[in-house]
């Protein structure tokens, strides 16, 4: 969604067998990365419903849901930390 140089994204529920930009089941939120800080609006009730029925969020959606407080935030490590621990071990 959005216009040239002005992206906005939908948070959707989709079947894993459908194509990447194909049909989806339901829109559960919106994400705008251009605001400072980025804004995300999600319908928490719908998200919890789909998660309870086995939906698996992508990494990006998991991060957005953590920002909005719908699910618990998972500890995020920076890429530098993982590279340093790999070099040490």
Q: What is the pLDDT of residues 21-58, one digit of tens each?
A: 778 889 999 999 999 989 999 999 999 999 999 989 99
Averaged pLDDT of the chain: 82
CA–CA separation, 39 and 48 (whole Å): 20
Residue 68 neighbours by CB distance under 10 Å: 17
The range of the structural domain enclosing residue 82 comes to 2-88
**58-65 average pLDDT score:** 91
Instruction: Indicate yes or no: pTM above 0.95.
Output: no
CA distance 56 to 43: 16
Whole-number Cα distances in Å, 68 to 3, 17, 22: 25, 28, 26
Residue pLDDT, tens place only, 6-19: 898 888 898 888 87
CATH of the domain at 8: 3.30.1320.10
Domain count within the chain? 1
């Amino acid at each position: 969604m959005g216009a040239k140089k002005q992206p906005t994204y939908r948070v959707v529920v989709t079947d894993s067998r459908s194509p990447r930009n194909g049909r989806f089941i339901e829109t559960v939120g919106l994400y705008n990365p251009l605001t400072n800080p980025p804004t995300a609006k999600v319908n928490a009730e719908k998200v919890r419903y789909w998660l309870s029925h086995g939906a698996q969020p992508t990494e990006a959606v998991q991060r957005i849901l953590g920002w909005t407080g719908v699910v618990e935030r998972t500890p995020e490590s920076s890429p530098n930390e993982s590279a340093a621990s790999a070099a040490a071990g």
